[in-house]
């Protein structure tokens, strides 16, 4: 049993109106050209790994576009899952019109034709990481009951929530944690009894260093400062 988890590619925040932390934008942009390249590298890497399992995506455009680019490389089907959507940090609901399932199926050809989703699908804020973990946990439980290889395409908070739900007490918090960059990949390998055997968090080796980002934050700039 193998579960991959990734964060979406770099979103285009230049042409949208937002007033929050750019790492948690409460808006629904598409990817930048760099974000599409990141997703293509991820898809190529997973293709080399012979992944052709199910892709489960948040209903935001930036996650769906990432999932679609990967799916075109791996010949995978996409299912949409609102429970791995963005972390809602403010009171109430996000103030944009998200896509309904029919619109999603028209825009992203690898989304399953039998996929269903209630609309509106937004989580209500303010959310904490604990609340995000509670909405993510049933998805992980369901996946562990199946034999399907799967890639989850989420956001910063939902990717971290997946990590904490899966690892529980297995993660050594004394070890410095890598940053969760756009299209970084976490890998969780389970044995036949669904016991976690091995994991790797937030790997970026499938991408060149000069395209690695965390939304507006540049990995290459951090390397420059570290020298």
Averaged pLDDT for residues 54-63: 98
Q: Give the chain's largest Cα–Cα span.
A: 51
CA distance 72 to 81: 19
CA–CA separation, 114 vs 29, rounded Å? 25
Report the DSSP pairing between strands 185-190 and 2-7: antiparallel
What integer is the mean pLDDT of 164-168? 92
- Taking the C-alpha atoms of residue 184 and residue 93, their distance in angstroms, rounded to an integer, is 28
Q: How far is CA 110 from CA 28, 55, 115, 183, in A?
A: 20, 10, 11, 19
Side-by-side strand order, sheet with 150-154: 78-80, 54-57, 150-154, 2-7, 185-190, 196-203
DSSP state of 65: H
Q: What is the CATH number of the domain that holds 208?
A: 3.40.50.1240
Provide the 10 A C-beta neighbour count for residue 130.
Answer: 9
- What is the structure's pLDDT at 103? 98
Q: Which pLDDT does position 223 carry in this prediction? A: 66
Residue 88 has pLDDT above 60, yes or no: yes
pLDDT in tens, 4-17: 999 999 999 886 65
CA angle 36, 18, 101 (to 5 degrees): 55
The number of folded domains in the chain is 1
pLDDT confidence tier of residue 220, bands split at 50, 70 and 90: confident
**67 pLDDT exceeds 90?**
yes
Going by the DSSP 8-state scheme, the letter that residue 218 receives in this structure is E
- Two tokens at 149? 């290889």
Residue where the block lists tokens 């934050």: 217
- Cα-Cα end-to-end distance for the chain: 40
Where in the chain does DSSP place strands (E)? 2-7, 54-57, 78-80, 150-154, 185-190, 196-203, 213-214, 217-218
State the DSSP code for 130: H
What is the residue range of 187's domain? 2-226
Residue (of 66, 100, 84) closest to 184 by Cα position: 66
């Amino acid at each position: 049993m193998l579960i991959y988890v990734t964060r979406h590619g770099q979103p285009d925040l230049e042409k949208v109106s937002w007033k929050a932390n750019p790492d948690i934008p409460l808006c629904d942009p598409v990817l930048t050209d760099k974000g599409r390249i990141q997703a293509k590298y991820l898809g190529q890497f997973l293709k080399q790994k012979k992944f052709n399992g199910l892709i489960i995506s948040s209903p935001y455009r930036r996650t769906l576009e990432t999932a679609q680019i990967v799916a075109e490389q791996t010949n995978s089907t996409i299912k949409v899952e609102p429970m791995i959507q963005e972390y809602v940090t403010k009171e109430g609901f996000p103030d944009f019109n998200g896509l309904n399932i029919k619109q999603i199926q028209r825009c992203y050809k690898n989304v399953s034709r039998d996929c269903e989703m209630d609309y509106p699908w937004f989580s209500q804020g303010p959310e904490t990481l604990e609340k995000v973990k509670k909405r993510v946990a049933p998805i992980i439980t369901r996946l562990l009951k199946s034999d399907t290889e799967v890639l989850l395409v989420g956001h910063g908070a939902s990717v971290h929530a997946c990590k904490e739900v899966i690892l529980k007490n297995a993660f050594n918090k004394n070890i410095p944690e890598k940053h969760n960059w756009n299209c970084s990949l976490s890998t969780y390998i389970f044995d036949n009894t669904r016991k976690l055997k091995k994991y790797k968090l937030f790997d970026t080796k499938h991408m060149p260093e000069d395209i690695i980002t965390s939304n507006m934050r540049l990995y290459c700039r951090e390397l420059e400062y570290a020298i």
